[in-house]
A = this chain, B = another copy of it.
Amino acid sequence: MTQPPLPHLSPPLPAIDPDPSRRNNLALITALVHHHGSLSRAQLTKRTGLNRSTVGALIGQLVTLGLMYEAAPTGKAQVGRPSPEVHPSPSIAALAVNPEIDAVTIGLMSLGGKVQKKIRYATERIPTAREAVNIAVAVIEGMQSELAASYRITGIGMAVPGLVNRDDGVVRYAPHLGWRDEPVARMMSEASGYVCHAANDASLAAEAELIFGAGAGQRNIVYLNGGASGIGGGLVSDGTLLRGSSGYAGEMGHTLVRTSGTVCHCGASGCLETEVSQAPLFELAGLDGGDTSQLEDALRTRRSDKLDKEVARQLGYLGIALRNAVNTLNPDAIVLDGFLGVLHALSPQTLGDHLQSQALGGPASEVTIHRAELGSDLMMIGAAELAFSQFLANPAGMGAVPTARR
């Protein structure tokens, strides 16, 4: 797969390295605008605590750089001079890649968390790392003229279901994809010419829900997603995703919930993931495959004793994992996604009651349990966030790194 060196960034802006203070303030404003979709200058002034004139200068710079634009205020006006709304430029974009067992999904995402384009490329069999990269690169090359014309791409973010070293972008082990020690970020960088970072899918999902979804406004959340390939998690503490030493943090699917339980592929037994899984639910609901919403419909309509028992059993084990998490991490909120969200929705009291009786009084009394909100765009948003992160840390540096080579 040869590839001509393409000018990925429309105008090759000069590399700017402003004072740390300036950079920090630019980053602050960019992040606020990005995470809220848009904010008025007055709101930005309040939220940053900076001076009116300073905020004006900062926004002026961001507008000049083409990273934002201003528009007339939309809502009905208040007393006083109207404050223009600051919007992120939709041309600032990131590519999101999410390999799964039956498809590779590629998204073109712009600032503000908006999906500009999403392509699901179904595969006949589980893709290898090389195949996933090739598919993604082919799709991206297909968009190349459009990208070059209308977008400035900050990079590629990959959300991989497995253990991913966030520092070097190596997939240490992805059991369901069958990948081991695959340097996917480097492979993708070299094949596409874009900077690429990779991380665990559930961690990125947690970040997405924190910023744009059910965790918005919270500082400490525990996110758990249940899917066909098991249970993944992401932890947010004080507004930041917990990474741990190498970015592996959050693997709560392998917490012990049952002594001498079923043996897990991880080597241990009685893991949350082995005791709580969607396969028996699908079966008892009489479904032969399908997605989460189908499962939910089926569980709501075709109830049976057996099924109720299984739901209760799984909720019990989920409750144990949550008890551990609540005691250990004292979160503001727990966000449940996938079939875990379905389980909770079926019996909204159960998990809360569990925690009240099983977890420590202090942490348990404060936590609330939510269902995830972002649905199918979740992974795209999370992966894009990974690609945006470098840009968000130094918005004025945009253009300094035109092509890859991390």
Contacts and interface: CB of A to CB of B under 8 A. Distances in A.
B359 A247 contact: no
A128 interface: no
A344 interface: no
A220 B244 contact: yes
A169 to B, nearest CB: 13
A233 B20 CA distance: 36
B330 A249 contact: yes
A324 interface: yes
Nearest to A173: B361
B357 A267 contact: yes
A334 to B, nearest CB: 11
B255 A327 contact: yes
A244 B360 contact: no
B366 A245 contact: yes
Nearest to A328: B252
Contacts of A243: 237-238, 330
A261 B259 CA distance: 10
Contacts of A258: 259
A256 interface: yes
A180 to B, nearest CB: 9
Q: Determine how many copies of this chain the complex contains.
A: 2
Interface string A356-372: 01111111001100000
A328 B251 CA distance: 5
A256 B256 contact: yes
Contacts of A238: 240, 242-243
A219 interface: yes
A51 to B, nearest CB: 12
A24 to B, nearest CB: 9
A270 to B, nearest CB: 8
Interface string A289-305: 00000000000000000
Given A257-B256, A259-B259, A248 B323 contact: no
A395 to B, nearest CB: 19
A136 to B, nearest CB: 23
A332 interface: yes
A240 B173 CA distance: 28
A330 B248 CA distance: 6
A56 to B, nearest CB: 19
Contacts of A199: none
A21 interface: yes
A268 interface: yes
Contacts of A163: 360-363
B363 A245 contact: yes
Given A257-B256, A359-B268, A245 B330 contact: yes
A256 B319 CA distance: 11
Contacts of A165: 362
9 contacts: A21-B21, A165-B362, A220-B244, A237-B244, A245-B332, A245-B363, A248-B363, A251-B327, A252-B328
Given A248-B330, A254-B327, 11 more contacts: A173-B361, A220-B245, A233-B328, A235-B328, A248-B362, A251-B330, A252-B328, A254-B360, A255-B327, A268-B359, A328-B328
